[in-house]
Structure 1
Amino acid sequence: MPGGEPSVPVKRDKGDAVGAFLDKARAVPAAATGAARRGRLLFCMDATASREPSWDRAARIQGEMFVAAEALGGLDVRLAFYRGFDDFKASKWTSNGVELARLMSRVSCLAGNTQIGRVLAFAAEETRRQKLDALVFVGDCFEENLDAVGALAGQLGFLGVPAFLFQEGDNAVAAHAFAQFARLTNGQHCRFDASSPDALRRLLGAVAAYAAGGAQAMADYAALHRITTLRLTRAGP
Structure 2
Amino acid sequence: MSPGRSAPGEIDRFLGAAKQLAPLATGQAGRLVFALDATMSRQPTWDLACSLQARMFEVAATSGGLAVQLVYFRGLGECRASGWVGEPRRLNGLMGAIACQGGQTQIARVLKHIRDEAKSVPIRAFVLVGDAMEEDVDALAALAGELGLRGIRGFLFQEGHDPAASAAFATMARLTGGAHARFDVNAPDSLLDLLRGAAAYAAGGREAMLKLAGGSPAVRGLLGAMDGGRR
Aligned length: 197
Q: Paired residue for 2:114, among 91, 107, 123?
A: 123
Structure 1 position 55, deviation (Å): 1.4
- Please point out which of 194, 206, 210 is paired with 1:215: 206
* Alpha-carbon separation, structure 2, partners of 1:215 and 1:192: 22
- 1: CA distance, partners of 2:161 / 2:72: 21
CA offset at residue 47 of structure 1?
Answer: 0.1
Q: Deviations over 1:35-62 (max 9, x none)?
A: x621011000000011012211111111
Aligned-partner SS, 2:68: strand
Asked if 2 retains the 8 angstrom alpha-carbon contact of 1:64 and 1:202, the reply is no
> Which of 124, 133, 141 lines up with 2:132 in the alignment?
141
8 Å CA contact retained: 1:161, 1:185: yes
TM-score (norm: length of structure 2): 0.81
2:174 maps to 183
In structure 2, distance between residues paired with 1:51 and 1:40: 24
- Which residue is equivalent to 1:206? 197
In the alignment, what sits opposite 1:113?
104
Q: Percent identity?
A: 47
- TM-score (structure 1 length as normaliser): 0.79
> What is the identity, as a one-letter code, of the residue corresponding to 2:167?
H
Does structure 1 retain, via aligned residues, the 8 Å contact 2:193–2:216? no
Measured in 1, the distance between the counterparts of 2:44 and 2:35 equals: 17
SS of residue matched to 1:93: strand
Residue 161 of structure 1 corresponds to 152
Over the aligned positions, Cα root-mean-square deviation in angstroms equals 1.8
4+ residue stretches of structure 1 with deviation over 2 A?
225-228, 234-237
Q: Structure 2 unaligned runs (5+)? A: 1-26
1:121 Cα deviation after fit: 0.7
1:172-230: per-residue Cα shift (whole Å, max 9, x none)? 1100000001111111100111111111111111111111111011010112x3358xx
Q: Could you tell me which runs of 5 or more consecutive residues in structure 1 were left unpaired when the two chains were aligned.
A: 1-35
Distance 1:104 1:55 in 2: 8
2:7 equivalent in structure 1: none
Q: Which has the higher helix share?
A: 2
**Is the partner of 1:92 in helix, strand or coil?**
strand
